[in-house]
Structure 1
Amino acid sequence: MNVDGFGRELAGCTGGKPFAILLLLLFACFVAPQTMMAQEPGSRRSASDLFDTIYDTAIGDSDRIHAYKTLVENPISPPDTKSPRATLESFLVIMRTATDLWVETRDQFFSNSNFFLTSKEKDQLELVSALLGKAALTFDMSAVPAASRERASVEIVLQMQEILDRVYLPALEEVPGVPAGLTQDNREPPERWTIPGTNLTIALQEDGPRAGEYLFTQGTVDRIPSDYDVIKALPIASDRGEDLYSYYIYTPGNLVAPQWYQYILSGPPWLQKTFSGQTVWQWAGMALLLLFSLIGIMLFARWNARRAVPVDPTLRQIRHVINPALLIVIANAFQFLCEEQINITGGLLVLLTTVTSVTIWTAAAWFTYQALQLIYLATSRSSAFNKASLDVSLIRTAFRVVSFLVAIIVLGYGATRIGIPIYGVVAGLGVGGLAIALAAQPTLENFIGGMILYADRIIRVGEFCQFEDMSGTVEEIGIRSTRIRALDRTLIIVSNADLAKRKIINYSQRDVFLFRHKIGLRYETESQVLRAIIADIRNLLEQSESVLEEPLRVRLIEYADFSILIDVYANIASTDLNAFLEVQEDLLISIRSIVENHGAGFAFPSSTVYLSRDQIPEPITDQAVSGHKEPGETSYSASGNSSKT
């Protein structure tokens, strides 16, 4: 007795060899008399009868027999789709061979009561999957997202098989076009042909990679699920006696249910009830998988948050890489278990595949960015990395930009995998890029400012610079801002756009250091001594190996308020500040020794105060005044009036 995965007896399943019918027909081609009668025009047949008729009409035609044999024995050969009849015949032949082998392998597995499939059974199921995939090539599946196309195509061909097993098909002579296996026909097939009594249409593909082939149209693919839901209650006209599509979607595993499914069958009957295309146990299993996945992510996030942050930047970056990698693993495991074990199908499968694909490809873009940053850190820390000849900050910025662009490319490719056309992705990136450019104008301005700093070589990491009202050592030139360490060890962050507009004095790019000092001698210094001091200082500078020959001058320049000023001007051949300060220190001490050896001294601000006693002037008398009177003028009276005579 043969039983299906539901534990039901199969009345019409013989369990014969997968190619027994084909071999018998090949034998009949050479030894049996050709006594069969052609179908009468206008007669109607079931899919099972039509399958038998296909082989009956091929008897005596070795080319057609070879073509049918190739269809079922060579999994990688394409179906014959040069006419509506060839497409329909290819589908029927492939599906009949696939379903017979499928049922035989399933019944053999359950009869042996093995917990795992044998290698032979695995090979047979792989052949069944390949044949189902080949049958799907007779459909235009271009509108189905690539991420779910493989599983969706299996459901489509199984539903189509069940529909054809419940309707009556026209005689082969009434199907337009050349039969499968023939290459010449005087009849010109129409561009479209619809199976009578249905809306299932086979049409000529006018463009695309399969132009010139007759395929079941996209509209047919879209309506097959609804047509199956309407017609599945009708009796099956074939000799299988069971609905293989129902067995496929309501049982776990891939094509053959595992042995543990018997425990579900022996459980409460309500576990087998269907809701929105899935059984109750499938809904429960998917919910548990989702719960365990979320718990795993939360536990890892909590454990990761409690760990000490590594001091080594490479180890910190490794932690950043692990996070998206773990998310990819969990999402793939969740999708695999839902598809291959719980066997979620239909619209829920499309939704689940879309959500997991979005998660996986988003995490993949995140992982790509972090992985490229890790490569940069590992490369920059390598002994082979020549830090003297490469601008480390520029390379770091370039890695960030490249990492971001590669992550965007990965994200765009993932968008095409979930069904978004490549043109839509490119257009979306263009529009999105314009929107981002408008919204992030300050950020782009800072980025361009950073590129200007790099291109002009104005500043580099490690250089000491003065930026108008601030100064410090450049620590990092990023995409948006530059970090400067001030002399008091405070960190100054300036946007690149603002920094590019500032007046910048780069002390680290000096080729020499200027040695210039004004020496003030006392006014008591004699002229001969002054000349000797100037000559000795000039000789000191000329004999020093650190002082350049030009320019070099030591001159008396001014008699100042409290000193005689000597200007000492020279360049020190050094680019290191510490080395310059050491040379300057030696020169200043030597100049002091010269001044002291000549008995002179340095002037300092002073002033001379002269003290003297002034004589008090005599009082003015009338006698003194009378000598200055004009004729006729009288003396002033006590009241202040004067008179003339």
Structure 2
Amino acid sequence: MPYWDLFTDRALWMQLSILVVVTLGTYLLLSVALRVLSRQLMQRNEKSHSRVFYFGSALLLNTSKLLLFAFALMIGLKTVELSPRWEAALAHGWFIALAFQIALWADHAVQLWTTSLHRDGKARNPVTTTLIGIMVRLVIWTVMLLSILSNLGVDITAMIASLGVGGIAIALAVQTLLSDMFASMSIGIDKPFEIGDFVVFGEVAGTIEHIGLKTTRIRALSGEQIVVANADLLSQIVHNYKRMNTRRIVFTFGISPNTPVEKVRQVSGEVRRIIEGMDETNFDRAHFFAFNESQLTFEVVHIVQTADYNRYMDIQQEINLQLLQALRDIDVKLAFPIRKLEFIGGDLPQVQVAGVPQDKGSANDAPYRGQPDGA
């Protein structure tokens, strides 16, 4: 009657009762403690608006109920007598449950981090943040699995070596794809440009529409969409005009070389007066700096206080119109290209005056050839 003896064994039932009471009591105590601590952290987060308190509260609420019960059960098992074999198994159980819970907390923390990046109002590359989140979570669960196997006595050295060799082989096979993937991660982390930025590189100028895992898509000024590999894009010098706060403008104009010196001196003052009277731009300098072909060249520099290209063109147009009027007011003419031709040797073509052909002459008689009588 061995089975009947088990039902009548008062010591066994006493230990089972203690195990059940301690397990349930510990489970309830841990559950209440986690909820109270999570509530306290949430209240601190509402006062300080710190992500640390918010993440801590969310992680505590994400504690696995099953693992929490496993912890309570193992605490209850400590109150009863167990054989050495069960004691060893209990020691491994503690580590496995703790490793799983830490991995769950870390995994949830990564998910909260990637989600918060899209909710803070800033434009970010969603592909890059998702890729980084997946890679970090993969590392977390890989480390958790390897640590559990090592705790159970499994030799993981050969497994790690195999993973390394396999990873090298895969990397060599898809090195172009991996190059673009890591370039996408670099764009997401370093942020040389973001969606909506106007960029110029090489012969391409346009607005960033999408930053993908392998390529970046740009809407060109002419309307078409340009697709560029991320690695190729980062290998070039990229001008990001979206982040430009001011615009330094340099322009030149020329006046007639026959302009008197006194009036040439007045031109710089007129330019300064015009630009200083304009809004959203600051005068820097205006100088007569060169004798060019057929003109006296002035160089003007002013700083436009906006990155808007259309607004800059409006300002520059108004400066040009006022400058044109100011030059006319002081009787200064703008320069126009002049070409002089000199005829040396040979005969000039026949010239007709009033329909009467004239005799050909030598080149030396050219100034008088073709002139009517009495001219």
- Structure 1 and Structure 2 fold alike (TM over 0.5): yes
- Local SS of the residue matching 2:298: strand
1:458 aligns with 2:338: no
Q: For the residues of structure 2 that align with 1:63 and 1:379, how far apart are their CA atoms?
A: 60
Tell me the alpha carbon deviations over residues 452-504 of structure 1, each in whole angstroms, 9 at most, x when there is no partner.
44554432322222212322222233343322222122222222222222122
1:397 to 128, 131, 140: 128
Aligned twin of 2:212: 478
Aligned twin of 1:564: 296
Aligned twin of 2:322: 590
2:247 to 513, 523, 531: 513
Pairs within 5 Å for 1:18-417 = 52=1, 55=4, 65-66=9-10, 205=85, 208-209=88-89, 376=115, 380=118, 385-387=119-121, 390-393=122-125, 396-403=127-134, 405-406=136-137
Indicate how the Cα distance of structure 1 residues 413 and 615 shifts in structure 2: closer, same or farther if over 3 A, else same: closer
Q: For the residues of structure 2 that align with 1:482 and 1:503, how far apart are their CA atoms?
A: 15
Aligned twin of 1:575: 307
Aligned twin of 1:441: 175
Give the TM-score normalised by structure 1. 0.34
- Alignment coverage as a number of residue pairs: 262
Aligned twin of 1:535: 269
2:363 to 614, 619, 627: 614
Query: Alpha-carbon deviation of 1:513?
Result: 1.3
Query: Alpha-carbon deviation of 1:590?
Result: 1.0
User: Which structure has the greater CA radius of gyration?
Assistant: 1
Q: For the residues of structure 2 that align with 1:496 and 1:542, how far apart are their CA atoms?
A: 44
Indicate how the Cα distance of structure 1 residues 65 and 473 shifts in structure 2: closer, same or farther if over 3 A, else same: closer
Indicate how the Cα distance of structure 1 residues 448 and 414 shifts in structure 2: closer, same or farther if over 3 A, else same: closer
Aligned twin of 2:256: 522
Pairs within 5 Å for 1:599-638 = 599-609=331-341, 614-615=363-364
Query: Alpha-carbon deviation of 1:429?
Result: 5.9
Indicate how the Cα distance of structure 1 residues 70 and 502 shifts in structure 2: closer, same or farther if over 3 A, else same: same
Query: Alpha-carbon deviation of 1:396?
Result: 4.9
Q: For the residues of structure 2 that align with 1:459 and 1:598, how far apart are their CA atoms?
A: 48
Q: For the residues of structure 2 that align with 1:514 and 1:66, how far apart are their CA atoms?
A: 93
| One-letter code aligned to 2:252 | K
Query: Alpha-carbon deviation of 1:558?
Result: 2.4
Query: Alpha-carbon deviation of 1:591?
Result: 0.9
Q: For the residues of structure 2 that align with 1:568 and 1:391, how far apart are their CA atoms?
A: 38
Indicate how the Cα distance of structure 1 residues 208 and 439 shifts in structure 2: closer, same or farther if over 3 A, else same: farther
In percent, how many aligned pairs have the same letter? Answer: 20
Tell me the alpha carbon deviations over residues 213-258 of structure 1, each in whole angstroms, 9 at most, x when there is no partner.
xxxxxxxxxxxxxxxxxxxxxxxxxxxxxxxxxxxxxxxxxxxxxx
CA contact (8 A) 2:245 2:306 kept: yes
Q: For the residues of structure 2 that align with 1:396 and 1:602, how far apart are their CA atoms?
A: 56
| One-letter code aligned to 1:493 | V
Q: For the residues of structure 2 that align with 1:614 and 1:434, how far apart are their CA atoms?
A: 85
Tell me the alpha carbon deviations over residues 548-596 of structure 1, each in whole angstroms, 9 at most, x when there is no partner.
25xx222222232222212122222222222212211111111111122
| One-letter code aligned to 2:296 | I
Query: Alpha-carbon deviation of 1:430?
Result: 5.7
Query: Alpha-carbon deviation of 1:508?
Result: 2.7
Q: For the residues of structure 2 that align with 1:457 and 1:70, how far apart are their CA atoms?
A: 65
| One-letter code aligned to 1:440 | V
- Local SS of the residue matching 2:89: coil
Structure with the largest fraction of strand:
2
| One-letter code aligned to 2:304 | I
**Structure 2: unaligned runs, 5 residues or longer:** 21-80, 92-106, 147-151, 349-361, 366-375
Q: For the residues of structure 2 that align with 1:68 and 1:555, how far apart are their CA atoms?
A: 104
| One-letter code aligned to 1:474 | I
Q: For the residues of structure 1 that align with 2:294 and 2:2, how far apart are their CA atoms?
A: 128
Indicate how the Cα distance of structure 1 residues 576 and 54 shifts in structure 2: closer, same or farther if over 3 A, else same: closer
Query: Alpha-carbon deviation of 1:597?
Result: 1.8
Give the TM-score normalised by structure 2. 0.55
Query: Alpha-carbon deviation of 1:536?
Result: 0.9
Structure with the largest fraction of helix:
2
CA contact (8 A) 2:127 2:211 kept: no
